[in-house]
Structure 1
Amino acid sequence: MADCVFCGIVAGSIPAFMVASSPAGVAFLDIRPVFKGHVLVAPRPHIVQFTDLPADLLPEYFRFAQQIAAAVPAALGSQGTFVAMNNIVSQSVPHLHTHVVPRTKGDGLRGFFWPRRKYESDDEAAETAETIGKEYLRLSVA
């Protein structure tokens, strides 16, 4: 879809801090992260909401999201992840995406209140994306 930001990221026409890419989709840093290392996983085709994701794409897409969820704590030293998906309400980009947010006990995140942060610089964001991407590659080969 021509005016979809995530379709532009998938196509490579809109820059993003890419973490990983697979036939199922792309993973890139959220530019307004809940915590640094907050990754968005988006399927390659333009799909607005979860219920529109074709059944034949489910296994590959969720395997990719699962691999990113494994890579984030391994790369960043967090204790785990919070994995979530919005549909329509509060979905700022109308393209299906899965949030993979690093979590550590005592990080202050409570319920569904998601305070947003910023990276100090593009270099910091690029380094974070590269670190998670390397861990994704290491884990996906294993």
Structure 2
Amino acid sequence: MASCIFCKIIKGDIPCFKLFESDKTLAFLDINPLSRGHALVIPKFHGEKLTDIPDEHLAEILPIAKRLVVATGAEEYNILQNNGRGAHQEVGHVHFHMIPKPNAKEGLGISWPQQPTDMDKIKALFDEVKPKV
């Protein structure tokens, strides 16, 4: 996509600190990091949401994220992937963050608004979703 910043990075129109590249995947340092070693892993196939990306273009993503964890020496870290503006996706191209969490002030800060347990609702959801998986 012509206006996509990540597609421009893939094409080489915008420079990046490239950590890994293959025919389907690119990994590079985030220029607005939350912590030292914060990196992005992206498929070269353009798609806004995870469901837009063919499986074969996702096969390397987690192994590369794992290699970044090892390479940076991160002992605690988050692997994050957002889909849609409401889910905090800022760039409309699928991307995975590897964010080291070295201490309470650096890295990803999140809250976890846990819902109350309702086994009847969970069972109904299970019955709805399980046949589709």
TM-score, normalised by the number of residues in structure 1? 0.67
SS in 2 for 1:59: coil
Cα offset, 1:71, TM superposition: 1.9
SS in 1 for 2:58: helix
Percent of aligned pairs with the same residue?
Answer: 36
Asked if structure 2 preserves the Cα contact closer than 8 Å seen for 1:10 and 1:25, the reply is: no
Do structure 1's residue 10 and structure 2's residue 10 form an aligned pair?
yes
The equivalent of 1:107 in structure 2 is 104
Structure 2: state its 5+ residue gaps: 112-133
Q: Which has the higher contact order (CA 8 A, sep 6+)?
A: 1
User: Would you identify which runs of 4 or more consecutive aligned residues in structure 1 move more than 3 Å?
Assistant: none
Asked if structure 2 preserves the Cα contact closer than 8 Å seen for 1:72 and 1:81, the reply is: no
TM-score, normalised by the number of residues in structure 2? 0.71
Structure 1: state its 5+ residue gaps: 114-142
Asked if structure 1 preserves the Cα contact closer than 8 Å seen for 2:80 and 2:97, the reply is: yes
Take 2:59 and 2:6, find their aligned partners in 1: how far apart are those partners? Answer: 21
Do structure 1's residue 68 and structure 2's residue 45 form an aligned pair?
no
Cα offset, 1:69, TM superposition: 2.8
- Number of paired residues? 108
Structure with the larger helix share: 1
